[in-house]
């Protein structure tokens, strides 16, 4: 099976001549769930933004479904089958749940009813709140809406940037269950996460980033059982 996405020797950053990503290599296969972990400043979110065209690599290339997409903008990448859910400001607070979903399908010209019904089936809580303003939802419900909005275009690859940030433990579990369910429909997911333990537990593979490079690449289970990863990212007291 050929890879869905390949990031090869990519250097990228927010300021000219100051690269946060230092020649990073990354890949994901169709239907795979790959977790990206590492300390703050390691380049996790920068990698996600570079893949989605929010940053243009200074060097290297990014290939999606066999086509080079380095240098393309998000509006050019989305129709190719990729969506991105940022950590913050990922819903339109003044619009209803239903209007948010419709905004997610901005490039679709046909009726959106079947698409919305599919999302409501996946996220029943959104069906109950469909007329409610997104700004009045709980943190967990907002994350579900953000994911639902991205899924309206039925992407082959979904990039999630810190979906559990600032959520209570019970909401974290709920959001992770939804991520797993989305992956089980066959969608590939890049999961950038600070909650390393939960993210690795359901990952096919994981990347540990350090200083803008991939320091360790292994299966989720192998990383969970790696003493170095356990000490640095899962807490010294973590027991398998």
Write the pLDDT tens digit of every residue in 5-47: 999 999 999 988 899 999 999 999 999 999 999 988 899 999 9
Which residues, other chains included, contact 62 with Cβ-Cβ below 8 Å and sequence gap of 6+? 5, 6, 7, 8, 10, 50, 51, 68, 69, 70
Mean pLDDT computed over 83-93: 91
SS3 105: coil
Please compute the mean of the pLDDT values over residues 49-57 and round it to a whole number. Answer: 96
- What is the structure's pLDDT at 112? 83
Pairwise CA distance, residues 98 & 102, whole Å: 6
Arithmetic mean of pLDDT, 63-72 = 96
pLDDT category, 228, cuts 50, 70, 90?
Answer: confident
pLDDT at 162 over 50: yes
CB atoms within 10 A of CB 58: 15
Class of domain 5-233: alpha beta
- Angle ∠(10,157,94) on CA atoms, nearest 5: 105
Instruction: Indicate whether 67 pLDDT > 70.
Output: yes
> Region 93-111: what's the mean pLDDT?
87
Q: Is the pLDDT of residue 99 over 80?
A: yes
Predicted confidence band at 235 (pLDDT cuts at 50, 70, 90)? low
Q: What is the pTM of this model?
A: 0.92
The answer to whether the CB of 53 falls within 8 A of the CB of 39 is no
The arithmetic mean of pLDDT across residues 153-162, rounded, is 94
Confidence of residue 236 (pLDDT cuts 50, 70, 90): very low
Q: Is the confidence at residue 83, as pLDDT, over 70?
A: yes
pLDDT (tens digit per residue) in 187-211:
999 999 988 899 999 999 999 999 9
Confidence of residue 172 (pLDDT cuts 50, 70, 90): confident
């Amino acid at each position: 099976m050929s890879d869905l996405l390949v990031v090869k020797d990519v250097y990228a950053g927010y300021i000219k001549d100051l690269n946060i990503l230092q020649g990073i290599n990354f890949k994901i296969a169709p239907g795979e769930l790959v977790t990206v972990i590492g300390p703050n400043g390691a380049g996790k979110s920068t990698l996600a933004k570079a893949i989605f065209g929010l940053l243009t690599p200074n060097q290297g290339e990014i290939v999606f479904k066999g086509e080079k997409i380095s240098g393309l903008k998000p509006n050019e990448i989305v129709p190719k089958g990729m969506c991105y859910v940022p950590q913050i400001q990922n819903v339109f607070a003044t619009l209803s749940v239903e209007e948010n979903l419709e905004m997610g399908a901005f490039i679709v010209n046909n009726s959106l009813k079947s698409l919305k019904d599919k999302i409501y089936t996946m996220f029943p809580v959104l069906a109950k709140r469909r007329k409610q303003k997104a700004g009045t939802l709980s943190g967990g419900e907002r994350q579900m809406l953000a994911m639902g909005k991205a899924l309206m275009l039925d992407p082959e690859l979904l990039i999630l940037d810190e979906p559990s940030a600032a959520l209570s433990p019970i909401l974290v579990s709920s959001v992770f269950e939804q991520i797993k369910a989305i992956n089980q429909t066959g969608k590939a997911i890049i999961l950038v996460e600070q909650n390393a333990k939960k993210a690795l537990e359901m990952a096919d593979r994981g990347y540990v980033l350090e200083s803008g490079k991939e320091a360790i690449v292994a299966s989720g289970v192998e990383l969970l059982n790696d003493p170095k990863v356990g000490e640095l990212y899962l807490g010294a007291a973590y027991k398998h």
